[in-house]
Structure 1
Amino acid sequence: MAMSVLGIGSGIDLNEVLNQLEAVEKTRLTPITTQQKAVNAKISGFGKLKSALTSFNSATQKLQKKALFQSRTATNNDNYFSVKVNSKAALGNYAVTVDQLASSHSVATTAINDKTSALGNSSQSRTITIEQANGEKLEVVLGENETSLEAIANAINNANITNEDGTTRASTMNASIVRSGTNEYQLVITSKETGEQQAITSISSDDEQLNRVIGFDKNQIDSSAMSEVCQAQDAKFSFNGIAITSASNTVKDVISGVDITLKATTPTSQNLAITADNDKAEQAIKEWVEAFNQLQSTIATLTQFTAKETNSDELNNSNGPLIGDATLRNIDQSIRSIFAKGQAGEFTVLAQIGINMDNNGTLTINENELKKALSENSDAVAMLFTGDGEKTGIANEVVAKVNGFIDSEGMIDSVTNGLNSTLKSLDKRYEQVNSSIEQTIERYRVQFTKLDVLINSLDSMSNYLTTQFDMMANLKK
C-alpha cells in the first residue's frame, strides 16, 4: 500500500529530498528564461528606437518644405484693411488707398402697421420675381395665406434658384422685417453679395395688389413702391498707384501671394510692408535639432554599458538591451553620414548656419549664426535642407533614410519579426524542458513512494522477527 505522505514509512524526509531534486532540475530552465528576458528587452528597445526615429522624421519633414524658408509677414494699419500673405509674396513696401467699400443693395417697403396681415389679393397663389443686374432671377411662389410681410420674408429666405441643368441652389437674397416705429414694420430685401453686378434691378408680382407694396424698378425708382436704402457698389482702391475695382471687399492675389480685405476708406495713403518671417524656419530647425538629440539620448540609453564591478567583464543589470547591436549602430551611422556629407549650394554643411556636433554626438545651435544665415540668405538655408526638392538636401535624404528604417517592412520591423520568431522558439523550448522536469520529478516521486513502502515493510519484518526471537529465548529459560 502506497504511503500518502513521503517519509512516514521510512522515517526519512523524502519530501525535502524531492524538493531539492526539483530545484536542481529547474536550473535547466534558467538559460531559457535568461534568453527570453534578453529577447523581450531587445524587442522593447527596438520599439523605443522606432518611436524616437518617427519623432525625428516628423521634425525633419517640416524642413522639406521650401515655403517654410519663404514665410512672409505683413505690417499695415489694420483699421483700414487686413492682409494675408504667403510665401509667393514679394518683399517690399506698398502704398494702399481705399476710396470706396463694396456694399450690398438693399430696398425696403413703406411702413406697414401689421407684419402679419395679408397684403395680396384672394388668389390661391402668386409669384414674386426678383431680378439682379447679373441676370440672376429668383422666383418665389406664395400661397393664399402667405402675403404678409412676415410670410414674404420667410418665403424669400427659404427659396431656391433653379439652375439651367435643373439643380437648385440657395437664394441670393436675404429678407428681414425691421420695426421702424411703434406698430410700423418694413420689409427689407438685401442682396447677399456685394458689388454693382449683384444689384436688384426689379421686384414684381403677378398679384397687382401685392405689387403695389413690393414693386421695384431700379430704372424708375421714384415711381416704385419700394425704395433704396443702400446702393450696390464695388470696392475701389489703389495699390501702389494702380486703381483697382472689386465686387468684394476681400480681394485675392492683388499681387501674387497677397490677399487684402478692405475695412474702411483711408484719409491718406497707407503703408503695407511685406517682410521675411524667419521665426517659423528658426523654430522648425530648433525642433529638428531637439528631436535629433532626443534620438541620440534614446540610443545612448539603449546601448549603455556599465561593468558589474570595477575591472569586471560581467555586465551590470542596468545595461542597455541593444548594447553592441549592429542594426542600431548602422542606423545611427547612416544618419550621421548625411550630416557629414556636403550638399550643393552656398551652404554645404550644417556648421555654416551655426549647427555643430559636440563630442557627445549631439547637435548644438549658435543662435546668432543661425539668425544671421536666415536673415541674410534664407534661400541658401532652404537649399541646404531641401536641395532639389526630391532626393538631395539634408531633410530629403534623412527622411528617405529613416523611412527605410521605420516603414512597415523596414529594417526595424524585419529585426523585430526575427526576434519574435526567436521568442516563440524559446517559449516552445521552455514548455518542452518544463514538461521533461515534471516527468522526471513524477518518476522520482513514484520511486520514493516505493522506497518508503519497502523500508516500512522491512521495518515491520524486523520488528516481527525480533519479537519471535525474544519469545523463543523466553521459552528456553
Structure 2
Amino acid sequence: MGGITTGTGLFSGIDSAGLISQLMAIEARPKLLVQSRIVELQREQAAYLDINSALLALSTAASAFDTLDIFKSAAATSSNPDVLTASAGTTASPGSYNMFVHRLVSTQQSLSRGFADKDTTAVGATSFTFEGGGGRLDSETKLSELNGGEGISRGEFRVTDRSGASAMIDISAAVTVNDVLDAINSASGIDVTASVRDGAIMLEDSSGGGGMLAVTDVYGSRVAKDLGIEKQILFGGGALIGDQLHFISENTALSALNDGNGINIRDDASDLVITDLNGTQVGIDLGRITHTEQDAEGEDITVVDQNKAVTVGDLLTIANDKLAASGSTARLRINDDRTGFVVEDSSGGGGEIIVSNGASNRTTATDLGIQTAGNGAGVGTLSGRRVLSEINSSLTSNLLGGKGLTQTKFNITDRNGTLAAIEVDADVLDGSVSELIANINEKIAAAAPTSTVTARLNSAGNGIEFVDAGSGTGNLIITGGAADELGLATDPAGVARSTHTANLQSKWLSRSTRLDSLNAGNGIGTGSFRITTADGHSDVVNISSDIKTIDDLLVHLNSRPGQYTARVNGNGDGIEIVDDTGASGTLKIEDVSGSVARKLNIAGEAQDVGGSIAINGSFEKTVTFAAGATLEDVRDAINEANVGVAATIVNDGGGVSPYRLSLAADDSGSAGRIIIDSGNFNLGLTSLSRGEDAIVFFGSSDPANAITLTSSTNTLDDVIQGVTIDLKGTSDEAVELNVSRDNAAIEEAIEKFVTAFNSVLSKIEQYDKYDAEKEVRGVLLGDSTVNNIKRALYRVVQGEAEGVDGPYQRLFQVGVRIGDGAKLEFDSDRFRDALENNFENVEALFAANKLESTGGQEEIFPGVFVQVNEDVYSQLGVAQQINQLVKSFTNSIDGTLTVKGKTLDSQIQLSQDRIGQLDTKLDAKRARLELQFLQMEQAIASLQTQSQALSGLGAF
C-alpha cells in the first residue's frame, strides 16, 4: 500500500485537501466574475485615459491659434546671412529694413611686458586694482551729445592745409568725436593735426605753407558747420579753433550731466528748495506727480499732473513755473558758458539766494551744482558749478569720490633737481580733468622752462601721472597742498623713478545710477539678503524689480529699523552699509535668495576698524600678492579673486623675457571694460583690444543718413519690435532685412490641429469598433460617452464661428473639411487663397476669443438672484470652440471624462470591496470544511481504536 500524501486523511485515506479545493473552486465562481468585471473596467479606464490624452493634445493645438498668436507669426530674412541673421516673434511688424554693420563687439584684452620666467623669479608687484563700471578720467564723447544734444550731420567735408593740398574727410560712419579726429589725422595728402580744446575741435597746420587753413562743406552738406569748423584762417592766424560743441541746451538729457551720474529726482515730494532775495521759499518737485480720482463708474483712477523731468528743458519749465506760481522772484536758467546753471533774482530784495536739497537725503541741488553752503548769494545771481565736462574728459568736481579739489599748489622737482613751484588757476578746480592737466603743464613750463616733468593721464586712465622725460639720476619729488589732496605727493625725499601716479577716484556711481547698468549691464537681479548687525539684530531685506536706482535702494534700506545706514561710499564707486548699533560685534551680510548682496559687493563680514563697522561694496577690487610672488602666482591670485578679468600667461617665444600676462575682460563691449591699475609698478600693459561696442547703422543704405545703434553684445533685441537680430560679420554694403508674415508657420499650426483632431477620432474608433473577422469587440463598443464626444466634435468643427464678420464663417470655406474616412483634411491651396483674400477674417475664424462676461449674479425675479458661472463670448472662432468643447470633456473637476473616470473608479472600488467580502466568506467556508474533515478523521480514529480494543477482548 502506498504512503499517505499531504492533505490525505491518516485514518480515512480520503484526499480532503483536494475535495476542499474542488468545493472552494465552485464557491469562488462569483469572485471570478467580479475579478473579470474589474479587468473590464480597468480596460475601459485605460481607453478613456488614452482618449483624454488625445483630447488634451487637440486642446493644445486648438488653443495655440489664440495663446501663441499663430496668425501673427512672422519670419525674418536677411539678404546676407554672413553679416546678420534674425528671428521674428508674434509682435513683429512686416517691413523691409536696411542695416549697415560697421563693427562687431569686442572684449577688452591687455598684454603685459615680458618677464624672464613664469614660476621662479619674483615679479615685484605688491597689488593691482581692478574696477568695472567707471572711474576713468577720460571719456569718449559721442557725436549725438554735441550741440546741446542735437548731434551733427554725418557725411563728408574738405580740409585744405596752408600748402594748398586738400583732402576729403568722410565721417559717414563716425560715432564719437575721436572718430572725427582720427579721420582728419589719418587723411593722406594734408599735414593737419586735429585735437579738442575748450569744448571745440582745433586744427593745427604743419605743412609750412603760406596759404589759408580752411574747412568747407561739400555737396550742399553741413557736416563741417555742425562740427563748428567751417572756417578759414589766414596765414599767421594760428590754429583753426572751432565753435563750442559740448554744451547744455534745453534738449540735453539730465542723465548726461555730471559725467553721466545724472540728477537725483524722486516722485511726489520736493527735490530742492529755492529761497529768493525777498525770503520766499519754494519747494520744487521735479518728479512725477499724481492724484487719484474716480471715473464715471466709481472706480479709482490715477491722474498724472506732472511727468518726471527728463531733459534740461523739463527742469527749467517745472522749476520756473513753480517759482512764478509761488510768487518767487527767483528764476533758474543755463549759464552763459552753457556748462551749468544760474539762479537769478532781479527784485533787488535784501536777502540772499539760498538753494538747498530737499528732505530725506535728496541730492538734487548738489547734483545741479547750485546748492549753497552756509550763507547764500547776497546779490542777484547765484552761479553754479560746472556740470558738463569738456569733450572727451570728466569733471574735476567728481574727483576724490565727488569731493572735488580745493588746493592749487604743487612743488615739482625733476630728477635733475629743477624745481617748479606752481599754482594752478582756481577756475580749473571747477572744470574738467583735461583742463587741469593742461594747466599744470602750462604752469610748469612757465615756472621752470628747463623742467623735464610733465603731467598726463596715467595708463590705467584713472589718475594723473607725472613723467620725468629727462636723464637725471636724482629722485622725482612732488609736494604741495594740491599734491597732498590728490594723493600725488611723494615722500620729502622723492621716488627713484621717472613716473609717479595715483588713482584720483572719480565718482561714477550716484543715487541716480540705474541698478540695471551695474555689473557690465547685467544688473543685480532680485532677491533677498540678511543684514546682521554687531548687536546680533537680524533683518532680511527684499529687493524687488520696483527698485530701479541706487536712490531707490538706499531709501528702501534706510527705511528699515535704525540699526544701520546705507549710503554711497566715499569713493563714489559703490554703496556701503554702516553699523549704527555701537556694539563691538560683527556686521554680516549674506544672500538669502538670489545674489543681490554679492552683485552689490556687500556680501561678507566686517569688524570694528577705527571706531566704525562698515561693509564697503566698492566695485574697485584690490588683489594683493605675497612677497616673492611669481608670474604664475600673480595669475592665480587674479583668477581666484573674481575681479572681472581672466588672467593667462602667454609665451611669445622671443628674447630673454618671453612670458607675458594676458588680461581679458569677462564681459564684452564698452560696458565690460575694466580699469587695471598696477600703481607705480611697471606692468607695461599694452592694449590689444579696448572692448568696443558693436555699431550698426539702421534705416538707410548710406550710413550718413542712418540711425546709429550701439550694443555691448552682437545681439540686438529692441531695434525692431519683436525681432532679434544676431550680428555675424561686417560689410561695406547695407544688408536688407525683410520681416514678413510667416504663412508656413500658420499652415504648420493648422496641420497640427488637423492631425490632433483626427488622432482623437482614431482613438475613439480604436476602442469603439467590432472586428468581425476576429470576432473581437472594442472596449468601448457602443459606449454613449465616446459617441457623444465624437458627434460633438463633428458638430463644432463643421459649425460656424461666433461673432465673426466676413465671408468665411466655416472651416470648410478655408480648406479645412471632413473628407474620406470621415477624417479632417486640409487643402493648403484653398487656405492660401482665403488668407490672401481676407486675412483678418481667416484669423478670426480660427483664433477669435473675446470674452464678454465671466458670469456673476443674475436677477431672475425682483430681489431674487442666482449665480451664473458660464462665460459668455462675443467672439469665438471655431478652433477656440473646439478648445472650449474639449475642456468640457477633460476638465479635472467636472469634465465628462473626469466624471466617467470617477464612476469607473467607484465601480472598481465597489468590485474590490465585493471581492473582499467574498474572500471573507470563502475563508470561512474553507475553515468550516477543514474543521469538518478534521472532525471526521478524529471520529474514524476513535472507531478504529474501539475496534482494536474489541478485537483484543475477543482473543482472550
TM over 0.5: yes
Aligned to 1:320: 778
Residue 362 (str. 1) matches residue 362 (str. 2): no
Aligned to 1:240: 699
> How many Å separate the matches in 1 of 2:113 and 2:834?
68
Match 1:181 to one of 616, 636, 653: 653
- Distance apart, 1:291 and its partner CA: 1.8
Residue 79 (str. 1) matches residue 538 (str. 2): no
- Distance apart, 1:196 and its partner CA: 4.2
- Distance apart, 1:363 and its partner CA: 0.7
> How many Å separate the matches in 1 of 2:689 and 2:35?
86
Change (3 A) 1:261 1:149: farther
Aligned to 1:413: 898
Residue 158 (str. 1) matches residue 623 (str. 2): no
- Aligned pairs for 1:46-445 (under 5 A) are 46-76=48-78, 77-116=80-119, 117-120=121-124, 126-130=127-131, 131-132=135-136, 135=508, 137-145=619-627, 147-160=629-642, 171-182=643-654, 183-196=657-670, 198-199=672-673, 203-205=677-679, 208=680, 210=681, 213-214=682-683, 225-241=684-700, 242-248=706-712, 249-305=714-770, 318-343=776-801, 344-346=804-806, 347-358=808-819, 360-374=821-835, 378-388=839-849, 392-409=876-893, 410-427=895-912, 429=914, 435=921
- Distance apart, 1:138 and its partner CA: 3.1
SS at match of 1:62: helix
SS at match of 2:779: coil
- Distance apart, 1:193 and its partner CA: 3.4
> How many Å separate the matches in 2 of 1:327 and 1:275?
45
Greater alpha carbon shift after TM alignment, 151-160 vs 81-90: 151-160
> How many Å separate the matches in 1 of 2:932 and 2:649?
102
Aligned to 1:311: none
- Distance apart, 1:422 and its partner CA: 2.9
Match for 1:128: what amino acid? T
> How many Å separate the matches in 1 of 2:673 and 2:24?
99
> How many Å separate the matches in 1 of 2:629 and 2:768?
84
SS at match of 1:150: helix
> How many Å separate the matches in 1 of 2:112 and 2:26?
105
Change (3 A) 1:109 1:32: closer
> How many Å separate the matches in 2 of 1:245 and 1:305?
69
Change (3 A) 1:322 1:190: closer
After TM superposition, the score normalised by the length of structure 1 is: 0.71
- Distance apart, 1:387 and its partner CA: 0.8
> How many Å separate the matches in 2 of 1:282 and 1:244?
38
SS at match of 1:408: coil
Match for 1:354: what amino acid? G
- Distance apart, 1:33 and its partner CA: 6.4
SS at match of 1:272: strand
- Distance apart, 1:184 and its partner CA: 0.9
Unaligned stretches of 5+ residues in structure 2 = 1-8, 140-259, 261-507, 509-572, 574-618, 701-705, 852-872, 940-956
Match for 1:328: what amino acid? V
SS at match of 2:719: strand
- Distance apart, 1:356 and its partner CA: 0.6
Match for 1:400: what amino acid? Q
SS at match of 2:907: helix
Change (3 A) 1:150 1:29: closer
Match for 1:419: what amino acid? L
Change (3 A) 1:87 1:431: closer
Match for 1:334: what amino acid? A
Match for 1:297: what amino acid? S
> Which structure has the highest helix share of the two?
1
- Distance apart, 1:79 and its partner CA: 1.9
SS at match of 2:829: helix
- Distance apart, 1:27 and its partner CA: 7.1
- Distance apart, 1:317 and its partner CA: 5.2
- Distance apart, 1:351 and its partner CA: 0.7
After TM superposition, the score normalised by the length of structure 2 is: 0.38
- Distance apart, 1:34 and its partner CA: 6.6
Aligned length: 409
Change (3 A) 1:25 1:238: closer
Change (3 A) 1:402 1:2: same
Spell out, residue by residue over 1:259-287, the C-alpha distance to the aligned partner (whole angstroms, 9 max, x if none). Answer: 32333321222222222222222222212
Indicate if the aligned counterparts of 1:127 and 1:142 stay in contact, CA closer than 8 A: yes
Aligned to 1:45: 47
> How many Å separate the matches in 1 of 2:53 and 2:737?
45
- Aligned pairs for 1:20-39 (under 5 A) are 35-36=37-38, 38-39=40-41
Identity %: 24
> How many Å separate the matches in 1 of 2:21 and 2:694?
98
- Distance apart, 1:246 and its partner CA: 0.9
Spell out, residue by residue over 1:229-279, the C-alpha distance to the aligned partner (whole angstroms, 9 max, x if none). Answer: 333433332112222131423222211122323333212222222222222
> How many Å separate the matches in 2 of 1:297 and 1:273?
42
Match for 1:181: what amino acid? G
Indicate if the aligned counterparts of 1:195 and 1:246 stay in contact, CA closer than 8 A: no
- Distance apart, 1:146 and its partner CA: 6.4
Change (3 A) 1:104 1:50: closer
> How many Å separate the matches in 2 of 1:30 and 1:138?
82
Aligned to 1:12: none
Change (3 A) 1:323 1:252: same
Bigger relative CO (Cα 8 Å, ≥ 6 apart):
1
